[in-house]
Amino acid sequence: MASSFSRFSQTLLLLVVFWGITSSSNAQLSTDYYSKSCPNLFSTVKFTVHSAIMKEARMGASLLRLFFHDCFVNGCDGSLLLDDTSSFTGEKNAVPNRNSARGFDVIDDIKSAVENVCPGVVSCADILAIAARDSVKILGGPNWDVKLGRRDARSASQAAANNGIPAPTSNLNRLISRFNALGLSTRDLVTLSGAHTIGQARCTSFRAHIYNESNIDLSFAKTKQSNCPRSSGSGDNNLSPLDIQTPTYFDNKYFNNLIGKRGLLHSDQELFNGGSTDSIVRAYSKNPSSFSSDFVTAMIKMGDISPLTGSKGEIRKNCRRVN
C-alpha cells in the first residue's frame, strides 16, 4: 500500500512539473508584458509611426495591413517581415503581398528605435501589433490596450500566404469560411473589413469589379475606370482610395459606401449584396461608435491568433532575418 502511494505521489509530482513546463511555454499575452523590461516601448513606437504617417497618410493603412497579413498566415508571428534569401522563400512575394505589401522600412525604423532603448527584448511580431494600433488611433480611430508577449517565427511560408489571405475576388462564403477557420466570426469579418475605411488599392485588384460586375454604382464605376484601364498590364499599379469619402480618416464611411454600391473591391461589395452580412453593414453605417467598439474587440481577437510564446520562436535583432 505504501509502495503504491509512493508511486502515485511520484506520478503526481511529474504531472505537476510537466504542467508547469507546458503552461510556461504557452504563456498568455498581456497588456503589461513589457512594463518593466521596456517601459518606453509605446512612446518609442508611436513617435516613429506618427512621423511616418505625417510624411505619407497612406502609411497608416499600410502598417495596419501588414498586421492583418501577418496574422492570417500561421498566426501573428512576424513571419511576413522575413526577406527571401538564397535558401529561403518567405511571404513577401506571395500573390497577396507582391508589389502590394509596404511599410517594411517603417517597421525597420521602429525596430531600430526600440533596440536603442531596450535591446533584445521586444519582438517584431509585437511591434507590428503596436504599429497597427497606433496607425488607427493617429488616423482618428479608436484606441485600445494591445496584448503583447509574442515571439518571432524562424520560418515563413509563401504557400500559406497564397492560400491563407483572402483575395479581393473572394465571394462572401469564401470570406466567412476563411475567417471562421481562424476563429473569427462573421461579425468579425465585417468589422475588420472596415479597416478599408483607410488606404488604397491597385487597379489590378478592382479592375474586374468596375468593368464586369453589375452590383456597382455606374457613376462610381466610370470614375474608377478613368484611372484603371480595362486592359490587363496597363495601369495595373494605379491607385484608388478604398473609401472615396474620407480615405485618410478612420471612420464608418466605408459601410455607407457599400450601401451605395460604391465598394471598390469585389470582396468589399460582397458584404452588402443581399446576403447574411447586410444587416451588420447597415448597423455600422448608422452607428459609428458600435463599429469602433467592435473593431477594437476584433483586432484584439485577431492578435490572439496562434502567437509564439514562452520558449517558442525568438526575439529577432533584425526583423528581416532570423538571428
User: Residues marked as binding for Ca(2+)?
Assistant: 70, 73, 75, 77, 79, 91, 197, 243, 246, 251
The annotation places the binding site for heme b at 196
Q: Is 30 helix (H, G, I), strand (E, B) or coil?
A: strand
8-state DSSP, 152: B
Round to whole Å and give the CA distance between 210 and 218. 9
CB 299 within 8 A of CB 195: no
Query: Which residues have CB under 8 Å from 179's CB, separation 6+?
Result: 166, 185, 186, 188, 189, 192
d(CA 95, CA 247) in angstroms, rounded, equals: 24
- Is 239 strand, coil or helix? strand
Contact 111, 318 (CB under 8 A): yes
Catalytic choice (50, 69, 209, 266): 69
Tell me the binding residues.
Answer: 70, 73, 75, 77, 79, 91, 166, 196-197, 243, 246, 251
State the alpha helices, DSSP H only, in 56-123: 58-71, 104-117
CA 218 – CA 238 distance, rounded (Å)? 20
Cell of 138: 493617429
Binding residues for substrate: 166
Is 69 annotated as catalytic? yes
> How many CB atoms lie under 10 A from the CB of residue 24?
11
Residues 6+ apart with CB under 8 A from 187: 280, 294, 298
- Give the separation between CA 152 and CA 317, rounded to whole angstroms: 10
Alpha-carbon distance of 199 to 202, in angstroms, equals 10
Pair 302, 192: CB distance under 8 Å = yes
CB distance 250 to 156 below 8 Å = no
Residue ranges of alpha helices (H) inside 118-157 are: 124-138
Q: Is 57 exposed, middle or buried (0-12, 13-18, 19+ CB in 10 A)?
A: middle
> Which positions are annotated as active-site residues?
69
